[in-house]
Amino acid sequence: PTPPTTAPSVASAYDEDHPAFVQVHDKSVHELVQEIVAARLQEDEDESAFFAADLSAIYQSVLEWRASPIGERVEIFYATKCNPSPAVLHLLSLLGTSFDCASASEINAVLSLPSAPSPDRIIFANPCKPASFIKNAAQKGVQMMTFDNADELYKIKRLYPTAKLVLRILTDDSKSLCRLGLKFGAPLATCPGLLALAKQLDLSVIGVSFHVGSGCKDPMQFADAVWRARKVFDMGKQAGYDFDLLDIGGGFESETFQEMTQVLSDSFDLYFPEDSGIRIIAEPGRFMVSSAFTLATSIIASRRAQQAIEGVAQPVEEEEEKAEGSSDVMYYINEGVYGSFNCIMFDHQIVHPHPLTIGGALTTTAPPFPPLPNVAVEVDLPVQMGYKETEKASVWGPTCDSIDCVRQLVDMPKGMDVGDWVGWGEMGAYTLCAASTFNGFDRSPVHWTTGGASKPEARFVKALLDEFASSSLR
């Protein structure tokens, strides 16, 4: 494709006074990435990494949730921590989802959106809160909050006695990538005591929450958790409460979503049937945003074991035998584990590169989308995409730390060099929000798109944003 001569067209823009202001392009992520990379190649100066984010992919996740076996019953309280970009929050709010916030600033960010939800569309889902955060929730009218220990009850009694409390219980998370039970959740044996204390303090406990761990691999963990929640509902009865809320937390991934939601639906039929009148909410994070973000990085340096340097006579050495599992080439790119690839360290992810340019020429093949195996499976995406001539590469981040390794070994097409671009899909969850600027490397900016004029979801997203932008009600 010929590089554009003008700036990319802006299909929609909203609320210029608000930090959520974004320019929203109207093309597929693949087209947007290609357009920006092509412009960068022309300029030959700006090699900095960037994200392209497809808002319609977020809308599709909401649709997928609502069409699932639990979709009609379970309300989404999006886990803000996962990706708190104002544009993501704004779109989700317009789509009618609610929010799980874990801190005062997350609550304040959600409430100051141009499309701010009412405070009852927020649950403060952090069982161990600083006192000042509880006061902030009280001031802002955010009533629902979780607890899992006695000290939290005393704190809440003192600072916000009219809060609506949700008891976070411990469930089996042994098959999850990130095991949250190591830190949070009341073991069942402690629940009667906590509920008796809450009653004694005249606090209002309205229900039970759990989190099976982020990146849950075993649907039966959900079944077990719902069964445990039922037991705690019964304990609540004994303590004099009549709970009406079940919060099933997060942990969902697209690969296993159908299976998980079917198991949940069956468990609800058993333990919380429709006619029980129990309200059920969930706090999905990763499932909502992972596939929406693609990261584009450039190769800033490379190294080969046996590198011929043009015009320089090399001493003739016996060629060393390449150790098994070692790479032919080391690529250094401009994002690393101290930046958006912190998901490798904190979120136990394996990330998958695909070539955007080879030898300075744009590639034409788009990566498969969706689904990408987004966790815990090492695949060689370029091979899956049909590249035949490949070599073993290791991919490194830009900092001076050797821990900064993005992929230890992956088949990359031959012919890639310094200045070439590498794309990474499934980069929307727990990436940008936890990135540091260690060693002086900036966080990568995000370019937004509706997803492309041909996608029905994209048309809806564009119409929604445009309607909001021109609405006198906001």
Size of the site for ligand PLP (CB under 6 A): 16
Using a 10 angstrom Cβ sphere, with 0-12 exposed, 13-18 middle and 19 or more buried, the burial of residue 410 is: buried
**Which residue stretch of 9-17, 196-204, 281-289, 444-452 sits at the interface with ligand PLP (rule: CB under 6 A)?**
281-289
**First-to-last C-alpha distance (Å) of the chain:** 41
Residue of 82, 400, 405, 433 with catalytic role: 400
Taking the least distance from each CB to ligand PLP, the nearer of 296 and 429 is 429
Q: Which of 249, 355, 428, 452 binds ligand PLP (CB under 6 A)?
A: 249
Packing angle, helices 150-159 and 191-200, rounded to 10: 20
Per the CB < 8 A criterion, the answer to whether 426 and 352 are in contact is yes
Per the CB < 8 A criterion, the answer to whether 206 and 281 are in contact is no
Taking the least distance from each CB to ligand PLP, the nearer of 285 and 353 is 285
Between CA 251 and CA 241 the distance in angstroms is 28
**Which residue stretch of 3-11, 220-228, 277-285, 417-425 sits at the interface with ligand PLP (rule: CB under 6 A)?**
277-285
Q: Which two tokens stand for residue 472?
A: 């006198």
Find, among 308, 313, 423, the residue nearest to 369 by Cα.
423
Restricted to residues 115-154, the positions that interact with ligand PLP (CB under 6 A) are: 125
**Which residue stretch of 285-293, 329-337, 338-346, 431-439 sits at the interface with ligand PLP (rule: CB under 6 A)?**
285-293
Taking the least distance from each CB to ligand PLP, the nearer of 62 and 79 is 79
Does residue 339 touch ligand PLP according to CB under 6 A?
no
Does residue 180 touch ligand PLP according to CB under 6 A?
yes
To the query of whether residue 400 is one of the catalytic residues in this protein, the response is: yes
Q: Which of 79, 186, 358, 375 binds ligand PLP (CB under 6 A)?
A: 79
Residue nearest ligand PLP, Cβ-based: 250
Q: Which of 117, 181, 236, 250 binds ligand PLP (CB under 6 A)?
A: 250
Does residue 448 touch ligand PLP according to CB under 6 A?
no
Between CA 392 and CA 386 the distance in angstroms is 16
- CB 103, min distance to ligand PLP, A: 12
Q: Which of 129, 286, 352, 462 binds ligand PLP (CB under 6 A)?
A: 286
- CB 129, min distance to ligand PLP, A: 12
The DSSP secondary structure of 18-86, one letter per residue, reads STT--EEE-S-HHHHHHHHHHHHHHHSS----EEEEEHHHHHHHHHHHHHSTTTTTEEEEEEGGG---H
Between CA 219 and CA 257 the distance in angstroms is 9
Q: Which two tokens stand for residue 100?
A: 């799980």
Does residue 347 touch ligand PLP according to CB under 6 A?
no
Residues in touch with ligand PLP (CB under 6 A): 79, 82, 100, 125, 180, 211, 214, 249-252, 283-287
Query: Any idea which residues carry the catalytic annotation?
Result: 400
